[in-house]
Amino acid sequence: MDLNISPTRVRGFVSRRVNHILAVVLMSFLTSLVARDISKAYGDRLVLDGVDLVANPGQHLGLVGENGIGKSTLLRLLGGTESLDSGEISRPQDVGYLGQEPEFPAGATVADVLAEALAPLHESVRRLEQLACRIQEPGAAGDYDRALAWAQRHDAWDADRRAELALARLGLGRLPADRRVAEMSGGERTRLCLALLIGRKPDCLLLDEPTNHLDDEAMEFLERFLLDQPGVVVVASHDRVLLDRVCSVIVDLDPSHFGVDGEGGRRYRGGFTAYLRHKQRARQQWEEAFLRQQEELGRLRLAAATTARQVAHDRPPRDGDKFIYSFKGANVQATIRRRVREAEQRIQMLERSRVPEPPRPLAFDSPITSQPSSRARIHISDLRVDGRLRLDRLEVSAGEHLLVCGANGSGKSTLLGVLAGRLPADQGQVTVSGGRVELLPQHVRFSRPEISADRLFAAMVGEQGRNLGDVGLLHPRDLRQPVGVLSVGQQRRLALAVLVARQPDLLLLDEPTNSISLALASELESALERSPGTVVVASHDRWLRQRWSGSMYRLDVG
């Protein structure tokens, strides 16, 4: 029997049977991702408590919230890579998950993981060819229809080309097939995982910070792919442009943003810009409701305390009206008691339904650099770092704010490493004149993850420095948590807090908005704009670039 049936013949069956399988295809598209009352704790630390979430096909959903609120945990639970403590999740059968630090089999090569990712699609094409040869057999038509619907939904015939295109557009096109994944950088592994998901084209995509290691071309490629996805897409991202362009629903997991009812998982229709408007309006309404309740409580407490003193006889009874005086006095006292009782009952009712005070947002409450110094200058000429960076000339004056842009591989991180004295130059002259120089790298690592955040901060800043709680970048509940249990974003906040406390003359920031909350990203941008010292930022953040008021320098690859 000849099983070598071309895709053209298989597609021919599609046109003859399209009406019959249309309902099957549509039902497959209508599979939603639903989480009900889910909770998760790590030890005595409750991360998620009674969270509900519904993500519908074609209605791409963005997850936002403060660092440590549980976005990454929620995505792992939704993807089934971690188990629930309580609740239930109903998910599509074919789920693709991208974590911030993707894991691959030990010893696997690029060719290995690519073959494994695309194997179900290759198998679906082979199965279709086999079923096409038996289409007239009893019961074979139903099997064929289901297999065809799955293959069409995943565009299985185009899987190899789609994966190769994704690797190229994500900057991995020249990666040798026999390269071991364990030898790749963290950014390369993330982009490889993303390319595999694009090749697979699963029914449900769960993406945790997918643009962290992408340049402009790669981000635009990812956006086009996501916009074309008809299935479920849930993305947690600091990339405000991505959330604006791709997502039609924003879910804020942070209960401190919800005001009166404290409901978790508040949904906002529209992208990130619409979410900001909704959030600002909700915050204003919350503040007004809190002030109204506090004013009413103040009036009632004052009334309850002073009513008895305000209604009292100020004259003695005359000889002929002692009875009337006593009768009126009893009525007055009864009125007083009734009014006091009503005030106290109203106070109790308001106390039971108390509007919580809006929390003070975590923010930079002091300049992020010291006053400008004539010493804080940079001069670079004919700089070469073999295979990583070529830069002919760069001058940065004291107090200047410079944004360094460029595609992946252009040497942005390498440049900051050289300026910080962490990487040697192979050629050229690099002069960094200044007092204290501080670098925030892309990947924050602390040498003592077992000690608490406040103790580590004190050790890094010095006993004469500020307290971590005074800086305002970590929630008070997280100050005594071991650094190792903090989220990636919280650890990045801690590193930022150390920089703020040290007040450098020259501040070097490598992708500073990666993995931090959207609110803090905006605060950081504002703080940088106000900072009097010299600042050099390397970033692919399109939102930041569009609003940057300082100078810009673009590095070219090679």
Q: Is residue 112 part of a domain?
A: yes
User: If you average pLDDT over each of 162-176, 262-276, 349-363, which comes out highest?
Assistant: 162-176
The mean per-residue pLDDT over the stretch 30-38 comes to: 89
Query: Is 307 found in the same domain as 186?
Result: no
Q: Domain containing 40: what range?
A: 31-117+160-271
- Looking at the structure, tell me whether residues 405 and 510 fall in a common domain: yes
Is the pLDDT at 325 greater than 80, yes or no? no
> Over 285-299, what HEC string results?
HHHHHHHHHHHHHHH
Q: Check pLDDT > 60 for residue 338.
A: yes
61: phi then psi, degrees, rounded to nearest 5 = -115, 130
267 vs 56: CA distance, rounded Å: 13
Q: How many residues does the chain have?
A: 558
Query: Which of 316, 335, 352 is the C-terminal boundary of a domain?
Result: 352
Question: How many domains is the chain built from?
Answer: 3
**Closest residue by Cα to residue 527 from 542, 544, 541:** 544
Residue 529: pLDDT over 50: yes
Residue 265 has pLDDT above 60, yes or no: no
**Whether residues 73 and 214 fall in one domain:** yes
pLDDT, average across residues 134-141 = 80
Q: Are residues 463 and 522 in the same domain?
A: yes
Is 149 a domain residue?
A: no
pLDDT tens for residues 422-467?
999 999 999 998 778 999 998 888 888 899 999 999 888 876 567 8
Per-residue pLDDT, averaged over 391-410, amounts to 90
Strand order in the sheet with 86-90: 45-55, 33-42, 86-90
Q: Indicate if 422 and 299 belong to the same structural domain.
A: no
Q: Do residues 222 and 86 share a domain?
A: yes
Decide which of 365 and 416 is more confident.
Answer: 416
Please indicate, yes or no, whether residues 181 and 38 belong to a single structural domain of this protein: yes
Q: Are residues 304 and 384 in the same domain?
A: no
Same domain, 384 and 462: yes
Residue 202 lies in a domain: yes
Q: Is residue 10 part of a domain?
A: no
The answer to the question of residue 363 being in a domain is no
The Cβ of residue 174 has, within 10 Å, a number of other Cβ atoms equal to 7
DSSP secondary structure, 359-419, as one string: PPPP---S-SS-S--TT-EEEEEEEEETTTEEEEEEEE-TT-EEEEEE-TTSSHHHHHHHH
pLDDT tens-digit map of 178-235:
999 999 988 889 999 999 999 999 999 999 999 988 888 899 999 999 999 999 999 9
Q: Is residue 15, in this structure, part of any structural domain at all?
A: no
Same domain, 215 and 306: no
The Cα–Cα gap between 334 and 93 comes to: 71
Within 133-285, strands assigned E span 204-208, 232-236, 249-252, 266-269
In a domain, 450, yes or no: yes
Do residue 192 and residue 330 come from a single domain? no
Give the whole-number percent of the chain exceeding pLDDT 90.
40
HSE, CB side, 13 Å, CA atoms: give it for residue 361: 18
* Dist CA 257 CA 361 (whole Å): 10
Asked whether residue 248 falls in the same domain as residue 329, the answer is no
The answer to whether residue 357 is domain-embedded is no
pLDDT above 70 covers what percent of the chain?
84
Of the three residues 221, 237, 271, the one that is the final residue of a domain is 271
**Average pLDDT of the chain, as a whole number:** 83
Report, as an integer, the average pLDDT of 122-139. Answer: 87
Single out the residue in 222, 243, 271 at which a domain terminates: 271
Q: How far is it, in rounded angstroms, from Cα 44 to Cα 186?
A: 30
- For residue 68, give the DSSP letter: T
Domain with residue 93: its CATH number is 3.40.50.300
Q: Residue 428: its pLDDT value, please? A: 93
Q: What is the pLDDT of residue 15?
A: 47
pLDDT above 50: residue 263: no
Distant-in-sequence, close-in-space partners of 388: CB < 8 Å, separation ≥ 6: 411, 414
pLDDT per position as a tens digit, 63-119:
998 888 899 999 999 999 999 999 999 999 899 999 988 889 989 999 999 999 999
Write down the pLDDT at residue 10.
Answer: 46
The predicted structure's pLDDT at residue 322: 53
Q: What is the pTM of this model?
A: 0.74
